[in-house]
Amino acid sequence: MASEVLKLTAEIVISHASISELSPQELIGEIKEVYNALTSLAAGEVPETVTQEKGEEAEAVKKPAIPLKDIVKEKYVVCLECGKKLKTLKAHIRKAHNLKPKEYFKRFGLDPKKFPLVCREYSEQRSRMAKERGLGERGGRRKATV
């Protein structure tokens, strides 16, 4: 039974470590937490970490699974909740994760000015369209020429 728990622990930690950056100390801590949780589950108990984390989870800032420099790219933005790559995240996080943008930024401790919810290409495209329509100029919209 102990070897089975070790195998499961290794699989879980390898899976998580493959999608997130962990320091050696964090890796060791995660191995211990996963192993302890699995052994207590095998014994029919509720793991201590599960009961403690539920209360702390609402206030704690989550660590993104990918490096921050890889969140906003030219053609996509990565959702930190599920890892999907999309052009815009606002509707996605509202529908899929029931989060407002403010809650999303707070959950991951992100600065909205540094980490937009729209990819660069889409933002530039929308900006170009608005300028072509005369938006953003003094006096508001430009009259359409017939």
The Cα 38–Cα 108 span in angstroms is 27
Q: How far apart are CA 77 and CA 68, in angstroms?
A: 11
Residue 94 lies in a domain: yes
Give the whole-angstrom CA distance, residue 137 versus residue 120: 22
Query: Other CB atoms closer than 10 Å to residue 77's CB: what's the count?
Result: 24
CB atoms within 10 A of CB 71: 19
Is the same domain home to 53 and 84? no
Place of tokens 């403010």: 102
For the domain that residue 121 is a member of, what is the CATH number?
Answer: 1.10.10.1550
Q: Would residue 138 count as lying in a domain?
A: no
Contacts (Cβ under 8 Å, ≥6 apart) of 102 = none
Instruction: Indicate if 42 and 81 belong to the same structural domain.
Output: no
Q: Please state the domain count of the chain.
A: 2
Q: What is the reported pLDDT for 119?
A: 92
**Per-residue pLDDT, 57:** 47
Instruction: Examine the domain organization and report whether 8 and 29 are in the same domain.
Output: yes
Range of the domain at 113: 68-132
Nearest residue to 62 via CA among 74, 37, 79, 77: 79
Q: CB-side exposure of 96: number of CA atoms within 13 Å?
A: 13
Start-end of H helices in 20-88: 24-42, 48-57
Same domain? For 122 and 84 the reply is: yes
Separation of alpha carbons 88 and 78, rounded Å: 9
Domain match, 72 and 125 both: yes
Whole-angstrom distance, CA of residue 88 vs CA of residue 105: 15
Q: Are residues 72 and 127 in the same domain?
A: yes
Q: Are 63 and 109 in contact (CB under 8 A)?
A: no
Task: Give the pLDDT means over successive 10-residue stretches in the chain (146 positions).
Answer: 80 81 82 85 68 50 78 90 90 91 90 90 92 78 57
Whether 144 is covered by a domain: the verdict is: no
For position 124, what pLDDT does the model report? Answer: 93
Classify residue 32: in a domain, yes or no: yes
The answer on 127 and 73 residing in a single domain is yes
Same domain, 72 and 44: no
Instruction: Based on the fold, state whether residues 128 and 74 are members of the same structural domain.
Output: yes
Predicted confidence at residue 55, as pLDDT, reads 47
Let me know whether 34 and 83 are in one domain: no
Is the same domain home to 9 and 36?
A: yes
Residue 145 confidence (pLDDT): 59
